[in-house]
Structure 1
Amino acid sequence: MITHAQQAHLLFADIKGFSSRSDRDQLRSREDLYAELCSAFTDELWQLCPHEDRGDGVLVVVPPALPVETLFTDVLPRLERGLGGRRRSDPLLRLRIAVHAGAVHRDSHGFAGNAVNHVFRLCDGEPLRQAIDEAASDTALLVSGVVHDSVVRAGLPGVEPTTFHAVEFQVKETHARAWLHVAGDNACALRIAQESAFGTDDGRDEDKRGGVSVSAGRSVHMDGAVVAGGDAHVSVPSAPRSRWWRGTR
């Protein structure tokens, strides 16, 4: 049975390095993830939010009755503190987190729709993967343009817009802009955003995009490009790299 779509916020939390762990450690990581999420949301809020298991992560549907700024001012800070408090535990638990909003469908198999697809792709994008690899903190967060406009840029109490930085990402056929936030490590988020926007990734962007850098002492013409005044960068797009209501628990 397919129900009418409802507007909701979506949070997806994914465990870093999950597939490289033994079966025993994967099961322990899953137990730890649910325990930390339940603590971060508090038992009462967790019961209000339908969620769906995704193996190495959890999709949480935040109902309209829960003010979305609560995610940013209460839930996510508690989650970061909780993970930080278990830093020496084994296995280590570090999370990539994506937040999006849109129309969410529910059928007899679980949650579905383009909004659900998009939050998964946010979480699978290279900027968020790089952030959790390099950050000093235990969470890295990527929010969609919809969430940035309605929550972050709106300047809701407790949400600091200057700690969210625009990045570009591409996963499958999705190519979009999102905003990266790394709790307690703003320098990491800013560096990744600058690399995303300006290609200062120590030359690695050249390899990923097939770009060609050209210098000349004067203006010259090439097929499809002009070098005016000395320097230009010509990008040759490459094929995109591929990566992707059961009831309340």
Structure 2
Amino acid sequence: MSGSLRGPLHRSILALDLERSSARNNLIKVEQRRELYHVLREAMRAAGIDEHYCEPIADRGDGVLVLVHPVDEVPKSRLLVPLIPELTRLLVDYNDALPVAERALRQLRMRAVVHAGDLLCDDHGLFGTELDAAIRLLDSDVVRELLRETTTPLVLVVSQQIYESIVIHGYDGISPESYHRAVEVHVCGLTRHGWLHVPAGHGQPIPITAA
């Protein structure tokens, strides 16, 4: 490696993607993008994830990408608890406050992925197969279908690495039994598995029935 190429650099990965964004007109997109950034930053603050420890939040049009530096102040478990429950609560509150007649068109519903891995960095930013894997998990048909089938405004998929290093240990009150392996994607010749989780807007996570 030469020039401005740096790495490998370890990052925790959080990506969010709005449901049915392409069905909204531009004015609704403006509203939803503004609220997406608002609820994300509010949830990050509540979870103790200071943006100082993150790369600048990357815009993905109908979603966002957060890359967190490997610092003791932000253990990976915080991306699951309390971030995801807090983000879900904020989404529920926002959607409930919308006029009923406009809710179907203006409500915020999203898919989320949490992963971690080593990336490379050049003049244009961070990239690599681990980021590709996270986005493939996020965009999988299984995750999209699960969001369509639930009234909860957020569904989460975590990578095998996050499941094995964080979830199964139950850190910070994480409930391993509320995660179900149901996603399989292929990246750079390797099979990657994802574990699905449906957080409740208030209270306990919603169980997922195995297929």
The match for 1:117 among 107, 119, 132 is 132
Distance in 1 (CA, whole Å) between partners of 2:140 and 2:197 is: 14
The match for 1:6 among 2, 5, 9 is 9
RMSD of equivalent CA atoms: 1.9
* Equivalent residue number for residue 235 of structure 1: none
Which structure has the higher relative contact order (CA within 8 Å, separation 6+)? 2
The match for 2:94 among 74, 83, 86 is 86
1:15 aligns with 2:21: no
> Judging changes above 3 Å, is the alpha-carbon distance between structure 1 residues 30 and 39 closer, same or farther for their aligned structure 2 residues?
same
* Equivalent residue number for residue 52 of structure 1: 58
* Equivalent residue number for residue 26 of structure 1: 29
TM-score (structure 1 length as normaliser) = 0.72
Deviation at 1:174, TM superposition (A): 6.5
Equivalent pairs counted in the alignment come to: 191
The match for 2:117 among 74, 94, 102 is 102
* Secondary structure class of the residue paired with 1:59: strand
* Secondary structure class of the residue paired with 1:93: coil
> Judging changes above 3 Å, is the alpha-carbon distance between structure 1 residues 171 and 96 closer, same or farther for their aligned structure 2 residues?
farther
The match for 2:154 among 129, 136, 139 is 139
Structure 2 gaps, min length 5:
none
Distance in 1 (CA, whole Å) between partners of 2:195 and 2:5 is: 32
* Equivalent residue number for residue 183 of structure 1: 199
Distance in 1 (CA, whole Å) between partners of 2:37 and 2:16 is: 10
Identity of aligned residues (%): 29
Deviation at 1:153, TM superposition (A): 1.1
* Secondary structure class of the residue paired with 1:96: strand
Q: How is 1:120-199 mapped onto 2 (pairs within 5 angstroms)?
A: 120-170=135-185, 175-184=191-200, 186-187=206-207, 190-191=208-209, 194-195=210-211
Distance in 2 (CA, whole Å) between partners of 1:169 and 1:55 is: 25
Distance in 1 (CA, whole Å) between partners of 2:81 and 2:169 is: 14
Distance in 1 (CA, whole Å) between partners of 2:206 and 2:157 is: 13
Distance in 1 (CA, whole Å) between partners of 2:88 and 2:161 is: 23
* Equivalent residue number for residue 75 of structure 1: 83
Deviation at 1:171, TM superposition (A): 6.3
Distance in 1 (CA, whole Å) between partners of 2:161 and 2:7 is: 21
Instruction: Decide whether the 8 Å contact of 1:52 with 1:110 is kept in 2.
Output: no
Deviation at 1:176, TM superposition (A): 3.0
Which residue identity does 1:134 align to in structure 2?
E
TM-score (structure 2 length as normaliser) = 0.84
Distance in 2 (CA, whole Å) between partners of 1:40 and 1:53 is: 17
Deviation at 1:52, TM superposition (A): 1.0
